[in-house]
Amino acid sequence: MRNSIIFQLNQQVYQLSGEQVFMTVADFLRYQAGLTGTKIVCAEGDCGACSILVARFNKGKLTHHRVINSCITFMYLLDGHHIITVEGLKESDELHPVQAAMVNTHGAQCGYCTPGFICALAGVADKAKREKKKLTPVKVKNALTGNLCRCTGYDSIIKAGCKTDLKMTKPLKNKYDTKELVKLLEKNSKKSVEIRYKNKVIFLPTTLAEAVKIKNEHSDLRIISGATDLGVLSNKGKTQLIKLMSLHLIEELYQMKNMKNTILIGAKNSLDEVEKITQKDFPEFSKLLHIFASPQIKNNGTLVGNALNASPIADTIPFLKVSQAQIVLQSVLGERTLNMNDFYLAGYKQLDIKPNEIVTKIILPKTKKSFKLYKISARRDLDISAVTMAVSYQLEKKTISNFAIAFGGVAASVIRLPEIEKMLEGKTFTSSLFKQVAETVSTQLKPLSDVRGSDVYRQLVCKNLVLKFCDEVHAEEGWKRNEVLV
Amino acid sequence: MSVGVDTKHDSAVAHVTGESIFIDDRPALRGELFVGIVGAPIASGTLLGVDTNQALKHPDCVAVYTAKDLAHKKWGPVMHDQPILVEKEIGHMGEPVALIASKRRESVEAIIKLVKVKTKSTPAIFTIQEAKQKGSILYKAQTPFVQGNFDKAFQNAPLKIRGTFSCGGQEHFYMESQAAVAYPLENGQIEVHSSSQHPSETQRVVAEALGLRLNQVVCIVKRMGGGFGGKESQAAPIAAYAGLVAAKQNRAARCILTKDQDMKMTGKRHPFENEYEVGFDHDGKILALKVMLQSDGGAYLDLSASILERAMFHMDGIYYLENVHIDGVCYKTNNHSNTAFRGFGGPQGTMTMECIMEEIAQVLKKDAAQIRKVNLYQNDKVRTPYGQLVENNMLPAIYQQLIKSSDYKKRLKEITQFNKKRTGIVRGISITGTKFGIAFTARFLNQGNALVNLHLDGTVQVSTGATEMGQGVNTKIQQVVAYDLGLNLNQVQVMPTSTEKNHNTSPTAASSGADINCAAALEASQKIKARLTALAKEIFAGKNPSALEEFQVGEGMLDEKIVFKDGKITDVKTKKSLALLDVIKTAYFNRISMGAYAFFKTKNLGFDKATVQGRAFNYYTQGMAVSEVSIDEYTGEVKVLRSDILMDLGRPLNPGIDRGQVIGAFVQAQGWVTTENLYYDKERHLVSHSPTTYKIPNVQDIPRILKVDFIENNDVKNNVFGSKAVGEPPFLLGSSVWTAVKHALSFRAGEKLVEITSPATSEVVLRELIKLKS
């Protein structure tokens, strides 16, 4: 057992215990380490000013550096990591190529968001260099979805990304000597961590067996994954993080597998990894994950975390429901596997999970069914949805089978519409049929009004999404029609 | 040559390496206190008391202060009507009521929650319509802008539209929230570092709040993490909060707002509801126009009067109005006190005009660009509704060049063809313009001063009243002085703005920061140059004073034959040359001053509000934009496919920086007219108080294709180096996105008129589509 966390910040190795372990990374950097280049603006992972680059040690090797939001990440989650901040990118007196490019294109105006953009750009440049690819405007934009700038209108920043001299870009992995960190970790990596400060405690077990045991002993323990939601709630005073366990030192929970009939996704696999592994078998889901959130969030957030959050606007749940995904729970008593549709109970955030259980993976069964997923929000990227809709279906010529439909953002939980599903089974796919479905949907759903849209708007959108689905299927199947339904 | 070229921002390297210091990046001093603000829990009512008992029991709480601790209780940039801390009447939700001082940053929020504010609610007013009904007025325009005879012309007009243009407010969303840190000095002095566009106002409010004389307060502004008008007036009370705690506790104190607190508490762009009646002929020529501009000023006056006036000044947009009547009123509501925001009312006026243009085109079923062309300021039709002439009018040339370069006509045809087919997508295209008056409409603000010190190593420090918020004003000052003295850019350092170096500074606002402060810095620099010129001439003439004498040059005089370039002073006639460094040394040993202070005021300004006549502006910055959008007819989602922008900036001081200003302003305006939606609950809590719920444009939202160009104009006589101001004018071009949405919707409107409000959120668009189709 050890009672400290170990990490390296730019060139310096740290071993921390006590209060600092429980700080957000941004607070630690700014107010403890004196690295004020990292900025805190929104403190909810939505603006990217706090972006930093982190790499995890995995069996003595450093993973690639990925960009994350330091304002909603806690220090204990970076045990075993190497951190690079904006201050750490310069090469003695030479600017990093992305820094040089930003200077030359006027990519910085007021300068407050700039360090975050620099880190995000350094991350994508590192990746492009590694994969021997060019930095195109599309790539650069995708890498910067999680960074807000109010001054530039982004044009000069996109140019900076595209004009980055990749020849001069050195791999981030080789930038710092990490021997001392590796040595320290080798000595300590098998040891689980338990750190207490005042009333707070964090457990970082290194095996699943141990994690399950701890969970069994502490039923009030919360599991913290990427902290992309808990970090926000904690910062905004909406929850207190007292007794926590992170599973990030358990290697087997990172084991994502693409098998013959299923895709297995481990509890610690990030949404970014899930986006990639589902590209071929679940392209619609992969596409949804593309606009799901920023790179910073997707690098830290996990599919299991999103599923367990159980919010009615959690974007993955409608898909997990209509795809008949399964969830695997582990306790000291053994393993349970549940269909997602049974895992979610009626009511706000109600789940079939026992206090001593830990979710270890999600299983996506491969299928011949087709999927269509829709996410509607005020802004296309990096926004919480007003409405989501997921449909799965099979067509034999024009005959419908296995139709499933789920909506998010219209009730206390993500809901399926079993009556409609039953009614459509075996029916012929026609516009008039789906017009009728659309009407039924808009009368059955009773959404609320809030900041993301009024009840009326949500109803209209749900109805129109059904019509859109019908039109898209017509187009894809090459069924000729004069006009779309809207 | 350092003027007119694309030099890098003077802070660029520090920005990209994270070395730039913003307020909260300053290390805390020993014993420094963290100030938290307790806000009112109601929007309208009376403060009955503040219970501090629980808060004071918190181990980190040092003190709680209320209005009774202030020497002077109210502030305001024009009228002192706004409480620094509420004494009795509560004007809006979250209004500052008390301050807490905490030993630790981490405890600020917890202590704020322990302060109990007791209040009694009274009925509140939240909308312009409610205020109108109840006659709740903050300010009414003194005299309407009248030209020609509206009544007669309207009566005779063959076609008429009556309508209302409504636009929402806008959060500044500067990345650095309001911030200040105050250090107590000897003799009761206070040094306050503030994220402020207006150091002198901040100095004044701090002094008044603390009961100090102005010479006891220094306000220093190194830079802001964005301002956009939000730190013109509103930075001052935040500095006063830090100052009060620092003075009372005799310890350093900082007040740093979180983004949520800032968004909930501070004022925003004014929402407007502008009612218009327009008469026009079959060519779309406007024969008569009457507009009543109505703004929501919020709880206090702040800058609302000037903002309403600027909206009236920009109601004409880029169009000549023969018979016109423009009036305005600003209503008092129980909203946060609305304030300056890039454009300062101009966008709300001009966009009303562009809305009218689009509607005329829809009524006539004609190309809106044609309607605009007919009405454009052109030839001798350049008299504005307030009597000032549009001199050096570039609008016809801009229109012609942009219609061509954007391929407008061909694209309009394609779009019209595309929209005939129902695909679930409908597209629209629109051209709009800006003719932004440059100068503070309050004449006295058009003044500035500068201090230039030339050191013995040939380097310069320049101090002016301009504040740097990213717009590059310091870089422009650096360029101008370096050019004048023939130095490299890195030999000129622009210093933090400080009220001990520059007095009575005007806010860095009204796009005029560079105009005024570059001119003042140039004048100061030229004073030094004049002395060195005289000295160089003496040396060139072979004069060599004896040990008992010294060179006598007095104030000297500039001479175009004596050129300062590349570190040398050269007589172009004789080709004789001296190293600048040698002349500097000689000047020092001969007791010639190499420091200079200069004062600048913009000439030929003066506008009489009573008669509505005079020169309100020094000149106009003009430009136009064409935007194309597509709308998803299922969901109402809007995408901006392409925008082409053409601006007249005279001879830009720094084309790279100016390009950044143009695009930044445009995209900011795009946000205002599309996704930026201020959403309040019934009690008037702002619900959209963070980027999770308040959506400014992100990198994926900007136009898929974005082209920016400057039209050549070498005829600008009345501004520094023939340049034009750039900060606000392109903001008004964001309207083209909104009018393009209106244009797109017109394809589904049949005989109906498209009536949408701004911002055109997905919801607004979808509901209008449903309405039009039903």
B757 close contact with A: CB closer than 8 A: no
- pTM of this structure: 0.98
Q: Do B522 and B655 lie in a common domain?
A: no
Residue pLDDT, tens place only, B492-518: 999 999 999 999 999 999 999 999 999
Read off the tokens for A15.
Answer: 């071993």
Question: Does B699 sit within 8 Å of A145, measured CB to CB?
Answer: yes
Q: Which of B580, B601, B622 is the last residue of a domain?
A: B601
Q: Which residues contact B427 (CB under 8 A, 6 or more apart)?
A: B415, B418, B419, B628, B629, B630, B631, B641, B744
Q: Which B residues, 408 through 437, put their C-beta within 8 Å of a C-beta on chain A?
A: 422-424
Residues 6+ apart with CB under 8 A from A11: A88, A176, A177
The pLDDT value given to residue A91: 86
Task: Tell me: do B37 and B83 sit in the same domain.
Answer: yes
Q: How does strand B595-601 pair with strand B606-608?
A: unpaired
pLDDT by 10s per residue, chain A, length 486: 899 999 999 999 999 999 999 999 999 999 999 999 999 999 999 999 999 999 998 877 889 999 999 999 999 999 999 999 999 999 888 999 999 999 999 999 999 999 999 999 999 999 999 999 999 999 999 999 999 999 999 999 999 999 999 999 999 999 999 999 999 998 988 899 999 999 999 999 999 999 999 999 998 999 999 999 999 999 999 999 999 999 999 999 999 999 999 999 999 999 999 999 999 999 999 999 998 889 999 999 999 999 999 999 889 999 999 999 999 999 999 999 999 999 999 999 999 999 999 999 999 999 999 999 999 988 776 678 899 999 999 999 999 999 999 999 999 999 999 999 999 999 999 999 999 999 999 889 999 899 999 999 999 999 999 999 999 999 999 998 878 998
Q: If you average pLDDT over residues B323-341, what whole number do you get?
A: 98
Q: Is B204 on the interface with A (CB under 8 A)?
A: no
Contact assignment for A39 to B175 by CB distance below 8 Å: yes
Residue B754: pLDDT over 90: yes
Residue B507 backbone class (left: φ over 0; alpha: ψ -120 to 50; beta: rest): beta
The pLDDT score that the predictor gives to residue A427 is 97
**Which of B27, B663, B692 has the CB atom closest to A46's CB atom?**
B692
Per the CB < 8 Å rule, is A110 touching B225? yes
Residue B21 included in any domain: no
pLDDT computed for residue A60 by the predictor: 77
B472: region left, alpha or beta (phi > 0 left; psi from -120 to 50 alpha): left
B656 touches chain A (CB under 8 A): yes
**Which one of B7, B175, B728 would you mutate to disrupt binding with A, by most A Cβ within 10 Å of its Cβ?**
B175
Do residue B173 and residue A103 have CB atoms under 8 angstroms apart? no
Q: How many Å apart are CA B478 and CA B487, to the nearest integer?
A: 10
pLDDT (tens digit per residue) in B510-557: 999 999 999 999 999 999 999 999 999 999 999 999 989 999 999 999
DSSP letter string, B388-445: -B-TT--HHHHHHHHHHHTTHHHHHHHHHHHHHS-SSEEEEEEEEEEEEEES-SSGGG
Q: Tokens for B119?
A: 């209040």
Q: Is the CB of B697 inside 8 Å of chain A's CB atoms?
A: yes
- Please write the tens of the pLDDT for every residue from B418-470: 999 999 999 999 999 999 999 999 999 999 999 999 999 999 999 999 999 99
B281 and B261 share a domain?
Answer: no
* A-chain residues near B665 (CB < 8 A): 153
Please say whether the beta carbons of A251 and A59 come within 8 A: yes
Helix H or strand E encompassing B160: strand B159-167
Q: Identify whether residues B562 and B672 lie together within a single domain.
A: no
pLDDT the model gives residue A388: 94
Alpha carbon distance B731, B157 (integer Å): 33
- Among B265, B297, B328, the domain-final residue is B265
Q: B25 in contact with A at a CB cutoff of 8 Å?
A: yes
CA–CA min distance A474, chain B (Å): 12
As a whole number, mean pLDDT of residues B278-286 equals: 98
B12 in reach of chain A (CB within 8 A): yes
In chain A, the residue whose alpha carbon lies closest to the alpha carbon of B706 is: A155
Question: Domain boundary residue among B265, B291, B324?
Answer: B265
Structure confidence at residue B2 (pLDDT): 87
Same domain for B741 and B653? yes
Chain A contact present for B747, CB below 8 A:
no
Q: Residue B485's beta-bridge partner residues?
A: none
Could you tell me if B634 and B508 lie in one domain?
A: no
Test B8 with A104 for CB contact under 8 angstroms. yes
For residues B525 and B670, membership in a common domain is answered with no
* Residue ranges of B 708-727 with Cβ closer than 8 A to chain A: 708
Q: How close B697 gets to chain A, by Cα (Å)? A: 8
Task: Identify the DSSP state of B753.
Answer: P
**Residue B295: inside a domain, yes or no?**
yes
Domains of chain A from N-terminus onward:
5-88+175-245 (3.10.20.30), 97-169 (1.10.150.120), 251-365 (3.30.465.10), 372-477 (3.30.390.50)
| Contact across the interface for B469 and A110, Cβ inside 8 Å | yes
Answer yes or no: do B38 and B180 share one domain. yes
As a whole number, mean pLDDT of residues B176-199 equals: 98
Same domain, B352 and B402: yes
Q: Which residues contact B336 (CB under 8 A, 6 or more apart)?
A: B92, B93, B94, B95, B264, B265, B266, B267, B268, B298, B299, B686
- Please say whether the dihedral angle defined by the alpha carbons of residues B501, B506, B510 and B516, taken in this order, is positive or negative: negative
ipTM score here?
0.98
CB–CB contact A111 B660 (8 Å): no
B447 CA: distance to closest CA in chain A (Å): 25
Label residue B576 exposed, middle or buried (CB < 10 Å: 0-12, 13-18, 19+): middle
Show the tokens assigned to B520. Answer: 């003042």
CA nearest to A122 within chain B: B16
> Within a domain: residue B689?
yes
Sorting pLDDT into bands at 50, 70 and 90, what band is B563? Answer: very high
State the CATH number of the domain containing residue B532. Answer: 3.30.365.10
Q: Is the pLDDT of residue B37 over 90?
A: yes
Which residue, among B644, B652, B641, has the nearest Cα to B713 in the 3D structure? Answer: B652
Burial class (CB in 10 A: 0-12, 13-18, 19+), B548: exposed
Q: What range does the domain containing B711 cover?
A: 272-441+609-773
List chain A residues with CB under 8 Å of B22.
36, 39, 111-112
Report how far residue B689's alpha carbon sits from residue A478's, in angstroms, rounded to the nearest whole number.
46
Alpha helices in B62-213 (DSSP H): 108-114, 128-134, 150-156, 199-210
* Contact list, A111 vs chain B (CB under 8 Å): 11, 14-15, 20, 22, 223, 225, 470
pLDDT, averaged across chain B: 97
**Nearest CB to B691 within list A46, A111, A460:** A46
Beta pairing partners, B436: B621
Judgement on whether residues B474 and B622 belong to the same structural domain of the protein: no
The 10 Å Cβ neighbour count of residue B63 is 18
Beta A81-84 vs A5-9: how paired, if at all? parallel
Residue B12 lies in a domain: no
Question: What values do phi and psi take at B128, rounded to 5?
Answer: -60, -40
Say if residues A372 and A323 touch (Cβ distance below 8 Å): no
The rounded distance, in Å, linking the Cα atoms of B615 and B340 is 22
Instruction: Verify that B388 and B453 share a domain, yes or no.
Output: no
Selecting from B16, B469, B692 the residue whose C-beta is nearest the C-beta of A108 gives B16
As a three-state string, the secondary structure of chain A is: CECCEEEEECCEEEEECHHHHHCEHHHHHHHHCCCCCCCCCCCCCCCCCCEEEEEEEECCEECCCEEEEHHHCEHHHHCCEEEECHHHCCECCECCHHHHHHHHCCCCCCCCCHHHHHHHHHHHHHHHHHCCCCCCHHHHHHHCCCCCCCCCCCHHHHHHHHCCCHHHCCCHHHCCCCHHHHHHHHHHCCCCEEEEECCEEEEECCCHHHHHHHHHHCCCCEECCCCCCHHHHHHCCCCCCCEEECCCCCHHHHCCEECCCEEEEECCCEHHHHHHHCCCCCHHHHHHHHHHCCHHHHHHCEHHHHHHHCCCCCCCHHHHHHCCCEEEEEECCEEEEEEHHHHECCCCCCECCCCCCEEEEEEEECCCCEEEEEEECCCCCCCCCCEEEEEEEEEECCEEEEEEEEEECCCCCCEECHHHHHHHCCCECCHHHHHHHHHHHHHHCCCCCECCECHHHHHHHHHHHHHHHHHHHHHHHCCCCCCCCC
Give the whole-angstrom CA distance, residue B93 versus residue B299. Answer: 10
Q: b vs e for A342-358, b when ≥16 Cβ sit within 10 Å of the residue's Cβ? A: ebbeeeeeebebeebbb
Rounded to whole angstroms, the Cα distance separating B421 from B651 reads: 46
What's the CA gap between B142 and B612, in Å, rounded? Answer: 9
Counting the structural domains of chain B, the total is 3
Out of A85, A155, A383, the one facing B702 most closely (by C-beta) is A155
Which residues of B are marked as active site? Answer: 728
The reported pLDDT for the residue numbered A146 is 97
- The answer to whether the CB atoms of B422 and A467 lie below 8 A apart is no
Contact A381 B701 (CB under 8 A): yes
By the 8 A CB rule, do B408 and B605 touch?
no
Q: Are residues B656 and B562 in the same domain?
A: no
